[in-house]
Amino acid sequence: MDMIIADTFLPSLKRMINRQRWYWKLYDAIRYDTPRFVRAFWRYRNDMWNDRPWDAMGSMRFVRTHLNHLANYLEKYSNEVEESLNKKIAKIRRAVELLDHYIEDKYIDLAEERLGKTVTVNFKLLPRDKDSLRELKFTNTEQEELDNKEIFALSSEIEEKEWFELFEILRGQDIELYRKDIEKLSQEDKNNKDHWNKWYDGSGLKGWWN
């Protein structure tokens, strides 16, 4: 048995040590790192083009792109059981959707769709008595103003709720709550994996990997 371990372990250890030599690192950089960098550059090209140093919007764009790529990768290559994998992918895609709403500022559109109303802005340019300039005067009806206020109020509500939902998805479930529930079960029920599958909802950025 010792001879078998020596015959397999020592050559593996030798290959691992040799892999740290400069020529292997150069080979890895050319063979793997450079193509991976080129693919990443192409994937994030729009995000880099729109990146600005004065706000966090660039960070949100990179996260949106990466999570979308991650969901596609897991769908295509993951070996995880479908029950938990599908939940995970659904949560990632929901996070991408929420990020898209924030980045593209879609909250008024969402409010309009939900209420079945649209924001109305009517105005006229009226001449002024004192000079040749014109004065902007809004001419919305009272009902149009009420509809606008309702839409703006709902859009703010949607934004706040979706922002909270986004970070709930990224944070994930509280594992301590699951442990407390498990402690109440018999030993036979503890060994039943259905409890975890029913409890787990796919959220939690730390668990999004293959």
What was the pLDDT predicted at 2? Answer: 47
Residue 108 phi, psi (nearest 5) = -65, -40
Beta-strand ranges (E) seen in 36-151 are: 123-127, 134-138
Identity (one letter) of the amino acid at 23?
Y
Which residues, listed in sequence order, are joined to residue 138 by a DSSP beta bridge?
123
Q: How many CB atoms lie within 10 A of CB 207?
A: 13
User: How high is the pLDDT of residue 23?
Assistant: 73
pTM above 0.85, yes or no: no
Does residue 21 fall inside a structural domain? yes
User: pLDDT 10s per residue in the chain (210 long)?
Assistant: 444 455 565 566 566 667 677 677 877 778 778 888 899 999 999 999 988 888 889 999 999 999 999 999 999 999 999 999 999 999 999 999 999 999 999 999 999 999 999 998 887 777 777 766 777 777 888 898 999 999 999 999 999 999 999 999 999 999 999 888 888 877 777 777 688 888 899 999 999 998
In a domain, 172, yes or no: no
In a domain, 28, yes or no: yes
Domain that holds residue 14: 1-43
In a domain, 80, yes or no: no
Q: Whose structure tokens read 């109305």?
A: 120
pLDDT at 64 (0 to 100): 97
CA 28-34-40 angle, to 5 degrees, is 130
Residue 18 lies in a domain: yes
pLDDT, position 14 = 62
* Cβ–Cβ under 8 Å, residues 45 and 159: no
**Is 61 within a domain?**
no
Q: Is residue 136 assigned to a domain?
A: no
Residue 97 in any domain: the answer is no
Residue 151 and residue 108 in contact, taking contact as beta carbons nearer than 8 Å: yes
Number of structural domains found in the chain: 1
CA-CA distance, 83 to 197, in Å (whole number)?
7
Chain-centroid distance of CA 29 in Å reads 29
* Phi/psi of residue 106, nearest 5 degrees: -95, 10
Q: Is the distance from CB of 94 to CB of 101 less than 8 angstroms?
A: no
Give, in order, the Cα–Cα distances in Å from 58 to each of 40, 51, 52: 16, 5, 6
